[in-house]
Amino acid sequence: MLSLSNKRILLGITGGIAAYKCAELTRLFIKAGAEVRVVMTQSATEFITPLTLQALSGNRVHLDLLDPEAEAAMGHIELARWADLVLVAPATANSIARIAHGEADDILTTLVLATPAAIAIAPAMNQGMWSDAQTQANITALAARGYTLIGPGSGEQACGDVGLGRLSEPEEIVTACAALFDTGALAGRHVVITGGPTREALDPVRYISNHSSGKMAYALAAEAAAAGARVTLISGPVTLATPERVTRVDVISAQDMLAATLEVVGNSDVFIGVAAVADYRPAQIAEQKIKKAGEAITLSLVKNPDIIAEVASLTQRPTLVVGFAAETENVVANGQGKLAAKKLDLLFANQATDTFNSDSVAITAVDAAGVTELAAGNKHLVARKMLHLIAERLTR
C-alpha cells in the first residue's frame, strides 16, 4: 500500500449497506498516514453510526450543512478548503445522480461543489442500477469533469444478485487514493528547499527572528517527494516533523543556511527559497547576556547574505530558481520586482499576515509571462499546484 503521509482525506458516506465498510476504510487511511474527517448524509446514519466514525477518525463527524460550531456556521466551506481529497464511498446511485447534476441540498453535495481538492467516487449499488443507462451517463459526466472512479467490484450483493456494483474492498480504495498523489512528475529530479525562519543571535539567550512556521516549505518538501523527487530540505528552527523520504538539514542563522545551501545546490534541478531569512543580523554577538540598563538600547545591524540571489547567480545554477515573496502590501507588484531583481525563473507571492502559522494559503505565481492565481486551499493542496507549475517548466 502506498503512503498517504500528511494527506487530508474527507470521506463522504452515503446511505448504502456498504457503509459498514467505512469503519475499516477509515482505519486503513489512518494507518497509511492520512488525517480523516467524515461527512455523512442522513441516510448513511441508518447504516453506521457517527459515533463509530468519530471514534475511529479522532474527529467529529459532520452531518449538517449549516454548522453552528463552525466558523460563520459554514462548515462545508471550511471542510472544502481543508481536504486534499474528497472521497464519496459508498456512492449510491442517488448520490451519484445528485452530484452529477450539481445539486447542493446537504453538506456532502455542497462541499463537493465548493472544494478545490481532487474528488474520487467509489460506487456501491445493485447490479441492475449500476448497468442502467442513466447511471452510466452520470458516471461518464463525472469522469469528464476529472473525478476519479474507484470500482465498482463484481460479486455477490446484499440483495442476492451477482454482478458489478459491489463497493471495492477498503484496501483497494486506499491504494487507489494513494496513487492519486504519487504523480511521478518530478521523478529523477533533485529539489532543494529552504524553509522556516532564521535566528540571528544577539547574545547567548536572545535572537532576532520572525513568525515563519515552516509549514509551506514542509508541505512542498512532502509533495515533491510524493512526485518522485529527491528532496533536500534546509530548515531553520521549527517544530515540524520531517516529511517521509526527505533529507533534512537543520540550520540556525542565515549564514548557516547559505553554507548548507551551497553545499548541495550545485547538483540540483530546482531550488525553492521558501525560508523567511532575516534580512539583517547583529554586527556583534555579545559573549554574555546583555543586561538591562537605561530606557533604550541601540543595536548595530549588518546585512545578511541574499541566499536566493546568490543561488541564481551561480555559474552552475539549478535549472529553475524559484522564490517566495511574503508581502504585507502590493503583493503582485513587489513580487514582480523581486523576480526581476534577483533573476528568478518563477516566484510565488502571498499576503504574509494571512500565512504565518496558518494551514491554508492563497498564492500568486509570477514569471516573465505573467501572473497566475492559485485558489486558496490547505498548504499541501496548494503545494501540489505549485509543483505542477514547476514540473511544467522543467519540460519546456
Q: Tell me: the pLDDT tens digits for 29-49?
A: 999 889 999 999 999 999 999
Residue type, 358: S
Asked which of 122, 157, 181 is the last residue of a domain, the reply is 181
Q: Enter the C-alpha cell of residue 138.
A: 452520470
pLDDT tens digits, 44-80: 999 999 999 999 999 999 998 776 665 544 456 778 8
Does pLDDT of 162 surpass 90? no
Q: Tell which wins on pLDDT, 201 or 294.
A: 201
In a domain, 3, yes or no: no
Say yes or no: 293 and 203 in one domain: yes
Say yes or no: 49 and 25 in one domain: yes
The residue segments making up the domain with residue 20 are: 8-181
Say yes or no: 144 and 261 in one domain: no
The residue assigned the cell 539549478 is 318
pLDDT tens digits, 227-275: 889 999 999 999 999 988 899 999 999 999 999 999 999 989 999 999 9
In a domain, 171, yes or no: yes
In a domain, 87, yes or no: yes
Query: 61 and 55 in contact (C-beta within 8 Å)?
Result: no
Say yes or no: 211 and 355 in one domain: yes
Say yes or no: 137 and 252 in one domain: no
Say yes or no: 80 and 58 in one domain: yes
Residue type, 108: L
Say yes or no: 224 and 176 in one domain: no
Residues in contact with 238: Cβ distance below 8 Å, sequence separation at least 6, in sequence order: 195, 196, 197, 212, 213, 214, 218
**Cα–Cα distance, 347 to 15 (Å, whole number):** 46
Say yes or no: 127 and 202 in one domain: no
Say yes or no: 167 and 236 in one domain: no
Q: Is 139 helix (H, G, I), strand (E, B) or coil?
A: helix
Residue 69 has a pLDDT of 65
Catalytic residue among 159, 285, 341, 371: 159
Asked which of 128, 146, 181 is the last residue of a domain, the reply is 181
pLDDT tens digits, 81-111: 889 899 999 999 999 999 999 999 999 999 9
Could you confirm whether 177 is annotated as catalytic?
A: no
**Cα–Cα distance, 214 to 27 (Å, whole number):** 29
Least confident of 212-216, 325-329, 330-334, 339-343: 325-329
Asked which of 181, 214, 232 is the last residue of a domain, the reply is 181
Q: How many CB atoms lie within 10 A of CB 203?
A: 15
In a domain, 84, yes or no: yes
In a domain, 247, yes or no: yes
How many domains, the chain? 2
Say yes or no: 176 and 200 in one domain: no
In a domain, 2, yes or no: no
Whether the ω angle into residue 152 lies within 30 degrees of 0, i.e. cis, is yes
